[in-house]
Chains A and B, each alone.
Chain A
């Protein structure tokens, strides 16, 4: 038994050495400690899991089907494969920053840092006073985490030390940035309706902008913010916010938004509460010329079911404009659909967990 283990360890060490040495010249990856040799293009999918289920996990997906130089593309629960411990309860957000992966875990009150092969590098446990973590963004070697205590924590990306806090609104959710500022939406679970604008340089609030009630999502594009709120009547207004003039204009409705190359892509869900039926529309908005494009940006003729299920993940691969959209029934493992930039379905596959919610792209 012991001998076998030793052999295995040597083999593992050998493979990682070989793997690392051939990586060094071309990429800035850190795959140290990886049990699997990974291709250069990688996608990590965060599954939120179910409430109190401790079943959040991160899947690995190789978009070029070149995992292990075979035609494989998928490893479910990859964080467990690599680290042999679970991620925790309710993975909330995942970002990639300088080829490291950062994940906020809401139920477990954690921020976990992984290297580019999803081998854990360290973690931050948030205190009761901090509150549970929500969403992430990163800039200049700092990770910014929204906390349910109504604060943003500024954390050093290398040392993982919490350096500072700033108080924003109630129950802050998504956070985004431009060159100078952080933008965070404060939901207050319906008791707030603001965006806080925070200067990155001196980490202080510059101003707050009022939007529709209960905002939960914010994206930045070309000097504009796009904000989704639940709204007083759960009608999900999509608002365009002019950062300089503080003007807010409702341009439609939507439940998910993603931005790529000056175009805002929107998923709109219309629910008939009496019959419990959902109808999804996929429209886009050209930020440069302020034009709404009603034409669906994906062709659903090969996957019509996507129009009538709850959309849970909506991400765009910045490298090639591929859309990654997931649906969830909140009970079984979600389905991930991948479309190319022109909206053609490339593939669909079952996720490794319940509620696949976010994806990050490393290339």
Chain B
């Protein structure tokens, strides 16, 4: 594809939404679809969806998306420790590549390495985080939303103005191990329906936290070294809101980070010299328009550029240096349309097109590019008691390489079906079920990375089944209770794994995993007095994720690596007249570092608890929020990934100044 064509796609993607906005008419109608999502207050949506609300984000000790996502049930965050450590999420043991991460309606992707590092995203301007099993309930979405095993939506907050036309916020945070984070953002209401917002954020941390190293008779306190990070983020947003009829958000985003990587703790050898730089720039545009009561559409356009450089210094490399350079481009457009036949029938169709390129200095990298076309057709029936949705996603993917073999074309259809039933008119009791078949495509690294990559790879398939109940009741005016439970059964087939043959590791489609799990969520809200309010959430997850690849191996039917059978979380917020208190806990049972479930491979169970206290102070036209956190206050020494110790007790203090 030549540059001109690329530019055209890009230009159309960005400009078309703007153009469409100008064309819109003025009828004021509700979007049928949006109502379904927004009516749900928190974790208990009709679909198997969990939400972390803005209030939780503000009052509990979480500072980035990864810390917040750990409070979602059924999610396993692979965390290499520290602020700069890689953090990816896997939902219900499907593997990190089966979760789509969607930022303000538009997918974030990394065709080279696959999973998104969610530790990178700031929480400062996030309205809520929503995890949906299968896909997000809303129908007017990009096809990408329907094409994964689960979807993590990160939704930014839109500025709200009360009595003035501009507002600003300064956020300052500091804490243990050289942590410092500052942000300034300012929003301007240019007219009744035009708002602009700009944000600028800086973050640094030394990350040189102590940890306990046990080695037989030697027990010593060591420090993580070479683990500092610095990053800068700048963002500009434009919102056009035409009285609920049209919605446009244009976002320009730039990010730069420079971090050192401490690597695994290696006995007797503390030397670590790895360093990683990241640059990311994107511009995205998301436009929604309601033509009339029964017809609306959405157009999305995005251009994404990401660059990273990795360096390691060691005399074992030629000239003592290993340097990897990678550049990726993505051009993405999506259009979708939602139509309602009558009050009961809804249809939607979404078409997405991606063009991805990778430029790499790695040996034998064929500089691949990939064209992906996705389409998703949804039909939904809604009545008072029932809701049934049938979705089918069609995928067509083709790749080009400068030399060597290229992988086969991918042409697939993946269906899914979900059903909700509300048997009693006067009770908030819901029975829900979901069946879904999806797959994920091999990443560029899996296909082309030096000798490990294999262009024979096929997509890795996942089958999901979910059956759940949820019940919500108001015991009194002051006491709200919610309970939900889901049983799930997943299969991962043709799992992409690295297998060694004659001392050379290569990627193959030869893993099979069977997952059975049970998820229980409990939430309550109790108002003791007018100014004393307790919100309490507990989640527990049991899962057996068994390797069923090969009957002859010793690890047949063993729990797959780094997957706890038992995990859970608690979050509680106590709001009083004077201060707000937050408590959160993340707990996990033992895990195994490798395929064989033997004692030598065990990683200890842990519970990581944090508390926070915050207060809002108003002072004339200013208001401040001051917050103090103690993270991991019991100073629990634990690891999520073996030999990547997690930080112990940490203190943080933050102040938000709003004016």
A contact set with B: CB distance below 8 Å: 50, 52-55, 80, 83-86, 88-89, 105, 107-110, 125, 128-132, 148-150, 170-171, 188, 191, 234, 236, 255, 269, 271, 273-274, 276, 278, 310, 329-333
Contacts and interface: CB of A to CB of B under 8 A. Distances in A.
Contacts of B216: 80, 83-86
B499 A276 contact: yes
A188 B316 CA distance: 9
Contact of B215 (A50, A86, A128): A86
A271 B263 contact: no
Interface string B502-527: 11101010100000000000000000
A278 B502 contact: yes
Contacts of A80: 216
Contact of B318 (A83, A86, A170): A170
B642 A276 contact: no
30 contacts: A54-B264, A54-B266, A80-B216, A84-B216, A85-B215, A86-B215, A86-B267, A88-B267, A105-B268, A107-B266, A107-B269, A108-B268, A109-B269, A110-B268, A131-B314, A148-B316, A171-B316, A188-B318, A191-B318, A234-B451, A234-B502, A255-B502, A276-B510, A278-B502, A310-B501, A329-B553, A330-B500, A331-B594, A331-B596, A332-B555
A100 B554 CA distance: 36
Contacts, number: 103
B554 A332 contact: yes
A85 B217 contact: yes
A131 B264 contact: no
Nearest to B499: A276
B593 interface: yes
Contacts of B594: 50, 331-332
Contact of A150 (B268, B269, B315, B593): B315
**Interface bracket on B:** 35 or more
B318 A149 contact: no
Contacts of B315: 128-131, 148-150
Nearest to B593: A53
Interface string B307-346: 0000000111010000000000000000000000000000
A131 B499 CA distance: 29
Contacts of B263: 52
Interface in B529-576: 553-555
Given A53-B642, A273-B506, A276-B510, 6 more contacts: A50-B594, A85-B217, A108-B268, A110-B268, A310-B501, A329-B500
A129 to B, nearest CB: 7
A88 B215 CA distance: 10
Interface of B: 215-218, 263-269, 271, 314-316, 318, 451, 456, 499-504, 506, 508, 510, 553-555, 593-596, 600, 642-643
A310 B500 contact: yes
A104 to B, nearest CB: 13
A89 B266 contact: yes
Interface of A is mostly: loop
A148 B316 CA distance: 5
Contact of B596 (A125, A274, A278, A332): A332
B316 A108 contact: no
B643 A52 contact: yes
Contacts of A274: 456
A310 B600 contact: no
B74 to A, nearest CB: 27
Contacts of A278: 501-502
A271 B593 CA distance: 28
A331 B561 CA distance: 11
A231 to B, nearest CB: 12
Contacts of B499: 276
A109 B316 contact: no
A53 B644 CA distance: 11
Given A52-B263, A86-B216, A332-B554, A269 B596 contact: no
Max chain A Cβ within 10 angstroms of own Cβ: one of B315, B595, B642: B315
B268 A125 contact: yes
Contacts of B554: 332
Contacts of B593: 53
Contact of A234 (B316, B504, B555): B504
B217 A331 contact: no
Nearest first, the 3 closest Cβ-Cβ pairs linking A and B are: A148-B316, A52-B264, A149-B315
B500 to A, nearest CB: 5
B269 A108 contact: yes
A85 B218 CA distance: 7
Nearest to A269: B502
Contacts of A188: 318
B508 A276 contact: yes
Given A191-B318, A273-B501, A310-B503, A52 B555 contact: no
